[in-house]
């Protein structure tokens, strides 16, 4: 599963409503962390957000160490990701979101995101590219149904 940058934010002590890793640690969500992946650009996005919010660099470095140790990282320089992200730019205004979405498509994997613009066009993306796009709420619901 490819996860959007949002889910990395709590690792750097940036509070959000959905704390994926805490929920996994507490057993609220049974998910194998080794099956989670990000695009390398999410680390940059995490750093930029933390810097903007005044988060101490030490917190960001701890988050990065965790990410590098436990998550699969796909490079944004991958040819297929670059080509597809340029194509997706026609329907999605934020280029970093295009890269993350292109990563899920090229990896033929589920994208977990809270991004309202992506969620708004997910039917079109799922139909055209054959991947599933879900929010954290969808993930919890799917896990409860099993």
Q: What is the pLDDT at residue 23?
A: 93
What percent of the chain has pLDDT above 70? 97
Q: What is the CATH number of domain 2-145?
A: 3.40.50.1010
Q: What is the pLDDT at residue 79?
A: 97
Q: What is the pLDDT at residue 140?
A: 86
Q: What is the pLDDT at residue 58?
A: 97
pLDDT in tens, the chain (146 residues): 999 999 999 999 999 999 999 999 998 898 999 999 999 999 999 999 999 999 999 999 999 999 999 999 999 999 999 999 999 999 999 999 999 999 999 999 999 999 999 999 999 999 999 999 999 999 988 766 65
Q: At a CB cut-off of 8 Å and minimum separation 6, what does 48 contact?
A: none
């Amino acid at each position: 599963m490819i996860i959007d940058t949002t889910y990395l934010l709590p690792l750097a002590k940036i509070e959000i409503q959905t704390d994926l890793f805490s929920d996994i640690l507490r057993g609220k969500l049974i998910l194998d962390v080794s099956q989670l992946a990000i695009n390398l650009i999410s680390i940059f996005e995490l750093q930029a957000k933390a810097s903007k919010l005044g988060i101490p660099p030490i917190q960001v470095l701890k988050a990065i160490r965790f990410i590098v140790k436990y998550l699969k990282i796909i490079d944004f320089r991958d040819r297929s990701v670059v080509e597809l992200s340029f194509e997706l730019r026609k329907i999605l205004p934020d280029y970093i979101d295009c890269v993350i979405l292109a990563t899920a498509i090229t990896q033929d994997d589920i994208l977990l995101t809270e991004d309202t613009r992506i969620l708004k066009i997910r039917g079109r993306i799922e139909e055209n590219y054959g991947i599933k796009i879900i929010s954290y709420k969808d993930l919890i619901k799917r896990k409860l149904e099993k």
